[in-house]
Amino acid sequence: MADDVQNFYQQLGTILSMKFCFIAPPGNDFPAMSAMVLVGQLGLVVVVPIVVGALAGAWLDARAGTRGLFVIGLLLLGLGGGLMGAWRIVMREIERGGNAGK
């Protein structure tokens, strides 16, 4: 993985006419990066269904002439779906050995 990152920075430096310094950590291990990716993934899995549910509910409320009924229903549905998705990601990470934070 460290070689991929170094190659990316070299190509980016060529395109931008800049020089980057890249030092790989010992053992080519990126535990902080793995943890950040996991947190970002969890955030997206929870937030996106909630926002989509709220927007779809607002659109349906505007079309049907209801006052927040669809917003609340789809918001709760999005919350449930997002939390289920986050639960699955956490369980998968635990089964893999939880290397994200090590």
Any idea what the Cα angle at residue 90 is, between residues 72 and 85, rounded to 5°?
Answer: 30
Percentage of residues in the chain with pLDDT exceeding 90?
Answer: 51
Given a contact cutoff of 8 angstroms between Cβ atoms, the answer to whether 20 and 41 are in contact is no
Residue 11 inside a domain? The answer is no
Given a contact cutoff of 8 angstroms between Cβ atoms, the answer to whether 74 and 56 are in contact is yes
Number of structural domains (the chain) is 1
Q: Quick one: pLDDT at residue 71? A: 96
CA distance 35 to 56: 32
Residue 3 inside a domain? The answer is no
Residue 7 inside a domain? The answer is no
Q: Quick one: pLDDT at residue 28? A: 47
**pTM recorded for the entire structure:** 0.64
Give 4-52 pLDDT, tens digit per residue.
766 776 777 777 776 666 555 555 466 777 778 889 999 999 999 999 9
Percentage of residues in the chain with pLDDT exceeding 70?
Answer: 76
Helix residue spans in 17-100 (DSSP H): 31-64, 69-96
Residue 20 inside a domain? The answer is no
What residues make up the domain containing 70? 30-101
